[in-house]
Amino acid sequence: MDRDEKQYKTKDTPQSAWLVSEGFELLLVERVGNRSFFVFRNSPELQESVVLWQSGRAQGNTRGYYEAYRKVVALAKNCIGGANHDARGNKGQV
């Protein structure tokens, strides 16, 4: 996790998918070496959700989670080659 107060950054794909399925906006998928990082706008609500995820108490819509997981995996795969992508899949350097 990035400690920048304005952004929450994680390399945890399942957690990122759950956050997306819960309505949090994925701002960017950032490629660093062979890793993809998922960047969200930080907020107290997001931090509460992160604690729920990390404690194993996260709940939600299974179908929504599955769809969000497929989306974030596809975005991460599109980052192969070093380019960063916004949440719509557009290439660019941030």
DSSP symbol at 22: T
Q: pLDDT category, 85, cuts 50, 70, 90?
A: low
Identify the residue with better confidence: 94 or 69.
69
Residue 4 has pLDDT above 50, yes or no: yes
Q: pLDDT category, 56, cuts 50, 70, 90?
A: very high
- Rounded Cα distance between 1 and 19, Å, is 14
Write down the pTM of the prediction: 0.80
